[in-house]
Amino acid sequence: MDPQRRQRLEQFLRKLGLVDYDQVNWRMLDLALTHSSASPDQNYEQLEFVGDAVVRLASAKFLLETYGDAPVGDLAALRSVLVSDRVLADIAKVYRLDKYILMSASAAGDRAGFRSRQADALEALMGALYLSTNDLSYVVPWLLPHLEPLAEQIRKDPAKQNYKAALQEWSQGKWKELPDYRVTEASVVHGDRERFIAEVWLQGCCWGKGKGPSIKAAQQAAAQAAFERAQAMG
């Protein structure tokens, strides 16, 4: 491995708070932070596959140890948020993971794919760290400080931050009706945080509006507005 690359990777591990990293497999760590645009054959895709299971395991272990008396359904709902691309991308942003990923200039300039690249690379990183030791010792120390406050925040949220699912459950219970989402494209610029505008309709009325960089995000924002309106009604 190029000495400068090794030095950068060591710098990143220290940023994670890992001081004793003698067991790290440096080749795997390098792959974990290599995008397919930099190397079609040697990149983070396989490690991402492993990391997806690692973050689910780490989250499940944490939730079981912390909220062991909670129903399994509640634990599953919590985990689904904790391992979401949105949460993983936010964690990656804290550590400026993008600075350490090898990728082509065109990929780096793709604003629309930025968050998904961050989430994918973070999963690959966890895969590499897990395979280095065959346990969670290089993952838990820096991951749990992010999951702990977020899990408590989600538990206090009646929608568990999945407003589309919560609104659908509420509307079906009240009217036996599914929400109707109507989406328009306000911008053609990839990565524009207000590219899509969504409305959610129930009973012939618009219950909420939302904007987002993707159709899914805009719908989620609209569902949040509608669900909060429903909660205010009692």
Q: Which of 123, 177, 180, 194 is catalytic?
A: 123
Q: Is 123 a catalytic residue?
A: yes
Q: Which of 48, 52, 120, 199 is catalytic?
A: 52
Contact 141, 18 (CB under 8 A): yes
Rounded CA gap, 3 and 11, in Å?
A: 12
Q: At what angle do helices 215-233 and 163-175 cross, to 10 degrees?
A: 50
Q: Is 90 a catalytic residue?
A: no
Q: What angle do CA 35, 86, 88 make, to 5 degrees?
A: 60
Q: What angle do CA 163, 88, 155 make, to 5 degrees?
A: 45
Rounded CA gap, 124 and 34, in Å?
A: 9
Contact 7, 27 (CB under 8 A): no
Residue count of the chain: 234
Name the residues annotated as catalytic.
Answer: 52, 123
